Chains A and B, each alone.
Chain A
Amino acid sequence: MKIFQVSEFIEHINSLVGSEIHIVEGEVSGFSVSQGKWVFFDLKDEKNEAKVGCFMIAFRLKTPLEDGMKVRVIGLPKVHEKSGSFRINIEDVQPIGEGALRRAYELLKKKLADEGLFAPERKRPIPRFPETIGVIASAESAAYGDFIRILKNRWGGVDVQLAHVQVQGEDAIDDITNAFLYFNNAKIQPDVLVLTRGGGSLEDLRAFNSEEVARAVFSSKVPVVVGVGHERDETIADYVADLRASTPSNAAERVVPERGDIGYEIAAMGKIIDSAMERIVEEKRSILKHFGFILRGYVKEKLAQVESLLGVLKSLSPAEVLKRGYAIARSNGVILKSASQVAIGETIDIQLFRGTLKGKVIGKL
């Protein structure tokens, strides 16, 4: 029989057991993270005392863990080269059972909330009349059928692009995150993305409660509406979404308006414009009328002024003065204003209103 040195022995054992993936279920105990990089914990049986050490790289840990949580670990058995201690090098770990899933859900929800993924101020508005809607759903699901039916009942003229994905099971997380990548990298991005599926247990909704999908929704450049299951189902994806719909049908209701409502709005706007225009025309007409009235008054007043001026002028003319009995005396055509202008015996002309007299000056007073 071969005699090993210790390191050779460990190497030999690792070569025997270390290449086959094992799945082990148990309860987490002594969970710790070292330097933010290495994750250590023991996996133990509930009934007997058996336990095994577990090690994993922190970035591989996609679900929050804590002591007492029931999990399924997937990894390679390994004996540590230096300490000789036996452990499982974990590639993936999943909470199992309603209790563990619920706990993992709560822990992840708190973590993402603290990071600001649910912050109301980052929620983006959904366009009122989307032209292109990217739908991430299972093509065969009732959820998708409901969404399309309600969409059609409410609104038309939309391009729906369906990304058919698994919404539960092994591929669900990858499918969904890849669909988000696809739409975000598309040459012409949709106006809005809708992620939807029917209701289910925490196990069914695992993808919708995963950190990967939460981050895909969060980093989508296109606003996201999430509509999952029944009204009471709440998923992490719901919280991250720009708009949360309570069901797949509700997602259709939130994403497009209703024909009748919009028709009514258009008619109402038409009415406002119509009556406003009528009012403008009426206003202009009354201004014109008023202006005409003012103008007429003004002209009348001016005419009266002119007439009275003419009267004054007329009364000042010499003919009008002579008419009243005055006379003009002239000597050789020069109007006489003083008695000294003529000598006694000179001849003068006296113009009356009608006719002229010739006279001789016989004295001065």
Chain B
Amino acid sequence: MPKESKFNFSQAFSELEKITEWFEKGEVDLEEGLKKFERGLELAQKLKICLKDAENKIIEIKAKFSDESR
């Protein structure tokens, strides 16, 4: 969601979705599971913070559209 930080909401969200899918498949690899578990919780935490804090930024483009192509 926010551009200013390196954190990309869209990417983080889809990574969390993939991790969730992995767990839903019912894999039981403990080592892999622990890694994904930690990553998943970290992502969820960051995403929640993002949801709370982010503001929209509005920029008006300076170009004048009426005269551009004439």
Which residue in chain B gives the minimum CB-CB distance to A269?
A: B20
Contact, CB under 8 Å: A174 / B69: yes
Chain B hits for A330, CB < 8 A: none
Contact, CB under 8 Å: B40 / A162: no
Q: Report the minimal beta-carbon distance from B25 to chain A, rounded to whole angstroms.
A: 9
Contact, CB under 8 Å: A156 / B66: no
Given contacts A151-B56, A162-B61, A280-B30, A269 and B17 within 8 Å (CB-CB)? yes
Chain B hits for A148, CB < 8 A: 56, 58
Contact, CB under 8 Å: B66 / A259: no
Interface residues on A, range: 35 or more
Interface string of A163-192 (1 = CB under 8 A from B): 111100001001110110110000000000
Contact, CB under 8 Å: A129 / B59: no
Interface string of B4-28 (1 = CB under 8 A from A): 0000011001001101100110101
Which residue in chain B gives the minimum CB-CB distance to A158?
A: B56
Q: Return the contact of B55 from the options A131, A157, A181 (Cβ within 8 A).
A: A157
Scan residues 80-112 of chain A and give those whose CB is less than 8 A from a CB of chain B: none
Q: Cβ of A24 < 8 Å from any Cβ of B?
A: no
Chain B hits for A174, CB < 8 A: 65-66, 69-70
Give the segment of A26-34, A39-47, A202-210, A270-278 that binds chain B.
A270-278
Given contacts A156-B1, A159-B3, A273-B40, A266 and B48 within 8 Å (CB-CB)? yes
Contact, CB under 8 Å: A160 / B56: yes
Interface string of B50-70 (1 = CB under 8 A from A): 110111111111010110111
The complex places the Cα of A132 from the Cα of B8 at a distance, in Å, of: 13
Q: Report the minimal beta-carbon distance from A178 to chain B, rounded to whole angstroms.
A: 4
Q: Report the minimal beta-carbon distance from B64 to chain A, rounded to whole angstroms.
A: 9
The complex places the Cα of A198 from the Cα of B11 at a distance, in Å, of: 35
Which residue in chain A gives the minimum CB-CB distance to B36?
A: A273
The complex places the Cα of A126 from the Cα of B63 at a distance, in Å, of: 26
Interface string of A277-301 (1 = CB under 8 A from B): 1001101100000000000000000
Given contacts A175-B66, A270-B41, A280-B28, A160 and B33 within 8 Å (CB-CB)? no
Chain A hits for B29, CB < 8 A: 280
Chain A hits for B47, CB < 8 A: 262, 266
Q: Report the minimal beta-carbon distance from A223 to chain B, rounded to whole angstroms.
A: 15
Contact, CB under 8 Å: B9 / A129: yes
The complex places the Cα of A284 from the Cα of B13 at a distance, in Å, of: 29
The complex places the Cα of A227 from the Cα of B33 at a distance, in Å, of: 45
Which residue in chain A gives the minimum CB-CB distance to B19?
A: A273
The 10 lowest CB-CB distance pairs between A and B, nearest first, are A157-B54, A156-B54, A157-B1, A276-B23, A178-B65, A157-B2, A129-B10, A175-B65, A270-B44, A273-B40
Q: A129-B13, A158-B57, A175-B65 are in contact. List 15 more A-B contacts (CB 8 A).
A: A151-B56, A156-B56, A157-B54, A157-B56, A158-B56, A159-B3, A161-B61, A165-B65, A174-B69, A174-B70, A182-B63, A262-B13, A262-B47, A266-B16, A267-B44
Which residues of chain B have a CB within 8 Å of any CB of chain A? 1-3, 9-10, 13, 16-17, 19-20, 23-24, 26, 28-30, 33-34, 36-37, 40-41, 44, 47-48, 50-51, 53-61, 63, 65-66, 68-70
Q: List 29 A-B contacts (CB under 8 A).
A: A129-B1, A129-B13, A131-B1, A131-B3, A139-B60, A156-B2, A156-B55, A157-B55, A158-B56, A159-B59, A160-B56, A160-B58, A162-B59, A165-B65, A171-B66, A174-B70, A176-B65, A178-B69, A181-B68, A181-B69, A262-B51, A266-B44, A266-B48, A266-B51, A267-B44, A269-B17, A272-B23, A273-B44, A276-B23
